[in-house]
Amino acid sequence: MTEHYYSAKPTIASKESVIEASICGMSLSFTSDQGVFSKNGIDFGSRLLVETIIRTSIKGESLNQKWLDLGCGYGAMGLSLAKYFQESDFTLVDINERAVELSRKNANKFGLSNVDVFQSDGLKNVNERKYHKIFTNPPIRAGKQMIHRWFEEAVSHLETDGQLWIVIQKKQGAPSALEKLEVCYSSVDEMERDKGYFIYRAIK
């Protein structure tokens, strides 16, 4: 069976590298590795999601909130947002143990004290925690059934009026994702679209 970046224990040999990025005026240097998603650079969808969340945020709205990065990889999205919204608390989870260690390493590198990182297959280990915002660039290769299950399970981990943010390409299932979100959430808005990528915000 072919190994993917959502494997719990990557078997491909470790070969760390450094990714330099600038997001919304922040200069960031991430440690990456083989066996994780978008190992050579922050992918367009992840960048678009982060920039859209920041661009559309209302001043003061995100103070003292709890955020969850579902499928964090090496922390490109979660740590970028944690650095920007330092008054809020961030949880980063991933099934991939190598990705989890990279996220911890990058959080320490950035000196972030508002970040908690742990291994979880989707929301399994999140337990009873609730969040104001959950955001994800879902692992498309894991299949539509799993991704739609994430949408369903996220509802119980959101505070009242909490938000689920996702990025997904049209060719990789954006229309069916939108249909599923509209079933599970009280309202769904298309917040951005660019180069075939759609950003959806679903409100509990």
Element (H or E) spanning 52, and its range? helix 44-56
Rounded CA separation 66/87 (Å) = 10
- Residue-level pLDDT at 1: 37
**DSSP secondary structure letters along 82-101:** HHH-TTSEEEEEES-HHHHH
Residue-range domains of the chain with CATH = 17-203 (3.40.50.150)
Tell me the mean pLDDT per 10 residues along the chain, length 204.
62 92 94 93 96 87 87 97 95 97 98 97 94 94 89 97 96 94 98 97 98
